[in-house]
């Protein structure tokens, strides 16, 4: 099964909606295999958002992301990367479809509640960035026969 990184940003933590956001992923059937509260630093943000380094808003994003601790999590499921990106919606909360997390909770491009890996390759790199091996857990998901057919679990 595929794994992806999801970060609940300061906009989720400070608005008190951590539980609501995690509930959405749980209800979908994604399995939580890693989760912790951490305070991000410039070093890790410069690596994580390296693709935005030359943007005028880079400093603003970094300041926002380190304004308070965030929840980093690893979600597992079939095609988890693509499924989670669909659940969160497009980057700009004002354009995101209602029904998506950003569409339902965000009015902003920057303060858009969640981060999620954008490809399986990126997910591997990002999970290594935020989790050590012993912080990610393999355990049987009690509901798995009701979430997937046998052939989907192969």
Residue window 66-105: x/- pattern of binding to ligand IDP, with contact defined by CB under 6 A: -------------------------x--------------
> Which residue number, 118 or 135, has a Cβ lying nearer to ligand IDP?
118
> Which residue number, 1 or 61, has a Cβ lying nearer to Mg ion?
61
> Which residue number, 56 or 151, has a Cβ lying nearer to ligand IDP?
56
Q: Which of the listed partners (ligand IDP, Mg ion, none) does 32 bind, with a CB threshold of 5 to 8 Å by partner kind?
A: none
Q: Cα 57 vs. chain centroid, distance in angstroms? A: 21
In sign, the C-alpha dihedral spanning 117, 120, 122, 124 is positive
Q: How far is the CB of 91 from ligand IDP (least distance, A)?
A: 3
CA distances to 36, 46, 122, 127, 154 from 92, rounded to whole Å, are: 26, 21, 21, 24, 36
Beta carbons within 8 Å of 38's beta carbon, 6+ residues apart: 69, 70, 72, 130
Query: From the candidates 48, 51, 115, 141, which is the catalytic residue?
Result: 115
Beta carbons within 8 Å of 25's beta carbon, 6+ residues apart: 6, 32, 75, 84, 87
Does the active-site annotation cover 115? yes
Q: Which of residues 1, 35, 109, 124 is near ligand IDP by CB under 6 A?
A: 109
Nearest to 3 by CA among 151, 147, 133: 133
Catalytic (active-site) positions: 115
List interacting residues with ligand IDP (CB under 6 A). 52, 57, 61, 91, 109-110, 112, 115, 118
């Amino acid at each position: 099964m595929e794994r992806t990184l999801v970060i609940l940003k300061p906009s989720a933590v400070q608005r008190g909606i951590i539980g609501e956001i995690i509930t959405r992923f749980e209800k979908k059937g994604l399995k939580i295999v890693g989760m912790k509260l951490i305070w991000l630093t410039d070093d890790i943000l410069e690596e994580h958002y390296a693709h935005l380094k030359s943007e005028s808003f880079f400093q603003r994003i970094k300041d926002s992301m380190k304004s308070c601790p965030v929840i980093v999590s690893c979600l597992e499921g079939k095609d988890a990367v693509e499924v989670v990106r669909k659940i969160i919606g497009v980057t700009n909360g004002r354009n995101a479809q209602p029904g998506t997390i950003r569409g339902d909770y965000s009015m902003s491009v920057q303060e858009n509640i969640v981060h999620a890996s954008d490809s399986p390759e990126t997910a591997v790199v990002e999970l290594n960035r935020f989790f050590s091996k012993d912080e990610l857990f393999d355990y049987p998901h009690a509901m798995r026969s009701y979430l997937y057919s046998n052939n989907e679990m192969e």
